[in-house]
Amino acid sequence: METTQSLSEGPRGGHGAALRLPEALDAPRLEHQSAEFGRIAYYKSVPTAASAARPLLLIHSINAAPSSFEVRPIFTRFSHQRPVFSIDLPGFGHSQRSDRRYCPDVFAGAIAEVLEQVVGESADVLALSLSSEFAARAALLAPHRFTSLTLISPSGFSKRAVPSPKVGRISHAALSVPLWGRGLFDLVASKRSIRYFLGQSFSGSAPEDLIEYAYATAHQPGAHHAPLYFLSMQLFTAEAREQLYDKLPELPVLAIADRDPYISFEHLPAFVAARPNWHYQSLAPHLGLPHWERPEATLSALEQFWLA
């Protein structure tokens, strides 16, 4: 089921003041009603001319305040050339933020369902950071819906091990105690905190509009539910290279990574070198968001990859 939505305004999120959440992208925002994942919001471009080009699905990262705004430069560049979709994952943006258990299967399942029931045909898929793992998992669920996969600053290639599920559950239980859990989230979601953490991903200052939107989306009803699972490290897949990336179907994969303050990529070059369908570009220098820091180089690399 698909419905069109207007700007939303809701009650206060966390302990902050009520904030209106505007549209992240200059495009119609629609909703897919999922029996399993709830209301999934997504944006869909309206190309200026009828186009037979493949659809493109964009997937934002996971942090305390992510949304489709993170992929804005890519959406803006290609939205007039081809059908471009950008999903707000469950628990974020304009999607439903219910108090439920969030795990990799939820996000991967939502991506696969949107590809199956909304996009409806094989697409180029692009994901940021931790969502690269979800996109790879979705490709295992619905391989026929993936023409190519682009991973920007993908997690899962670091030497650092992921905490065990038991540690994650204990951490989440501690973070979920209302007495301090909501206070911790409000601290992480403060404008000062968002400015600091986003600033780590830019060699200069983070764009002010990106900061403002992150602050607004972190102050919506239920905004703390999904991020607490992220903060407790329960959304990462242990041994993601072996469990996800190595099991991908034979489709073209482009990995873009240079440096990132939150994850590292020690295993990425060797992994790509051993797989002829994988391609790697650093597009240095950047700190995890090349489409913001080096937009022309990034957009050109994407265009060449999809054309090839």
Phi-psi region of 93 (alpha: psi -120 to 50; beta: other; left: phi over 0): left
Task: Using the predicted structure, report yes or no on whether residue 43 has a pLDDT greater than 80.
Answer: yes
Q: Is the pTM value of this prediction over 0.85?
A: yes
Sheet with 146-152, side-by-side order of all strands: 2-4, 29-34, 38-44, 84-87, 56-59, 123-128, 146-152, 253-256, 278-281
Give the pLDDT confidence score for residue 160 in this predicted structure: 85
Task: Categorize the per-residue pLDDT at 59 as very low, low, confident or very high, splitting at 50, 70 and 90.
Answer: very high
- % pLDDT > 70, the chain: 89
Torsion of the alpha carbons at 97, 99, 104 and 110, rounded to the nearest 10: -40
CATH number of 2-307: 3.40.50.1820
Write down the pLDDT at residue 151: 99
What is the β-pairing status of strands 253-256 and 278-281?
Answer: parallel
Residue 5, pLDDT score: 42
Give the mean model confidence (pLDDT) for residues 222-246.
Answer: 95
Joined together, the tokens standing for residue 174 give 């501690």
pLDDT of 262 reads: 95
Instruction: Average the pLDDT over 87-101 and give the result.
Output: 97
Q: How many Å from the N-terminal Cα to the C-terminal Cα in the chain?
A: 35
Q: Residue 230, Cα to own-chain centre: how many angstroms? A: 12
- For the CA atoms of the chain, what is the radius of gyration? 18
pLDDT digits (tens, 9 = 90+) for 157-188: 999 877 777 776 777 667 676 666 677 888 89
